[in-house]
Amino acid sequence: MSVTNNSSFSVSLSETTDGGVGISTSFMLANEGVDSGLGTAGFTLTFTDGSKLDLINSGNAAGTHDISVPGGAGKADGVTVTSTNNAQTGLDFFKADTGIGFEWHSAADFMMDGLKVSASYSADNGVAAAAASALDSSWGIGATYVTDAGDTAITIGAGLAASDWKDTGTEPSNGSGGMHVGLSAVTGDLTVAVAYADGDKVVAAGTTTVEREIGDNTVTKVGVKYVTGDITLSAGFTSAEAMDSLTIGTKGTTVDSKDQTDAGISYAVASGVTANLGWKNIDTTDEGTSDNTGGTSWYIGASMSF
């Protein structure tokens, strides 16, 4: 059992020039004794044609177009698995950026009805490779397409990214990079979604205690959500596999895996107040063998917004 208290205070600033270009940024207050550090916000330029340009800490465009796959309810505590299990369960696990770059977002209906696209690039930020790998540059592209098929609203999202790394010793055999694609269909109160991702990831020392190279990582997600009155029912399943290696430059040969099942019920108690009941189960293998660190958790809580 555990209790988690989270609080934040942020300020957003925006201005529109006489020419109609919007400029926005933000800052936040944080307790540096608890928070790992202050996240520096960049700038966003919003143009009169509806397109936007994010500058500095802009992110990677591949991660902008993930399909949202239903799962549990609220924010559940996870089940802690062995630290050497490196199967990645997110759809955009392969994205990377140095913080020194840009991400461009098209206006709606780019070249065709229902299409939005994004593109990003980040340059070398001057961080020395030292004894471990360091990100040198990255790029990403993504797209979301929305259309109707009778009474069903369909959303398709996809992303592609790649990055270059530097190292004073052996460089990674593959940098972080890969692809994801997903589809979501909404018919009335029912939502069904499925998504898939495949790629590689470099985890440099400093992010963790040991540098790792995670190759051939695949992620499959399926989920369903149904809304009836003030009650939302949801469930999802994620299956991930990867071959990790602690020897940079050498690909792994045995499989790490994580299979995660989520389910939840949310009830809108009042305006801005939602009660949540959730359940999660995780099964894992490390280097091809069950590591006995998976398990089941459930939780009950509430979320408030005002």
The enclosing domain of 289 has a CATH number of 2.40.160.10
Examine residue 10 and state whether it is found in any structural domain, yes or no. Answer: no
Please tell me the predicted confidence (pLDDT) of residue 29: 74
- Would you give the DSSP letter of residue 56? S
Helix (H, G, I), strand (E, B) or coil at 270: strand
Examine residue 136 and state whether it is found in any structural domain, yes or no. Answer: yes
Share of the chain above pLDDT 90, in %: 50
Examine residue 185 and state whether it is found in any structural domain, yes or no. Answer: yes
**C-beta neighbour count of 10 within 10 angstroms:** 11
Measured CA to CA, the distance from residue 53 to residue 50 in angstroms comes to: 10
Examine residue 246 and state whether it is found in any structural domain, yes or no. Answer: yes
Token pair 């143009």 is found at: 47
Please tell me the predicted confidence (pLDDT) of residue 1: 47
Comparing 279 with 173, the larger pLDDT belongs to: 279
Examine residue 115 and state whether it is found in any structural domain, yes or no. Answer: yes
Q: What is the pLDDT of residues 183-223, one digit of tens each?
A: 999 999 999 999 999 999 988 776 566 778 888 999 999 99
Measured CA to CA, the distance from residue 257 to residue 294 in angstroms comes to: 11
Q: What is the pLDDT of residues 251-285, one digit of tens each?
A: 778 899 999 999 999 999 888 888 999 899 999 89
Query: Cα dihedral angle (183, 263, 73, 285), rounded to 10 degrees?
Result: -80
| pLDDT, average across residues 70-81 | 73
| pLDDT, average across residues 68-96 | 82
Please tell me the predicted confidence (pLDDT) of residue 27: 82
For residue 180, what are the domain limits? 62-304
∠ CA 241-298-265, rounded to 5°:
100
Examine residue 20 and state whether it is found in any structural domain, yes or no. Answer: no
Domain count, the chain: 1
Structure tokens at 241: 């596999």
Examine residue 47 and state whether it is found in any structural domain, yes or no. Answer: no
| Mean model confidence pLDDT for the chain | 86
Examine residue 52 and state whether it is found in any structural domain, yes or no. Answer: no
φ/ψ (deg, to 5) at 62: -65, -30
| pLDDT, average across residues 25-30 | 79
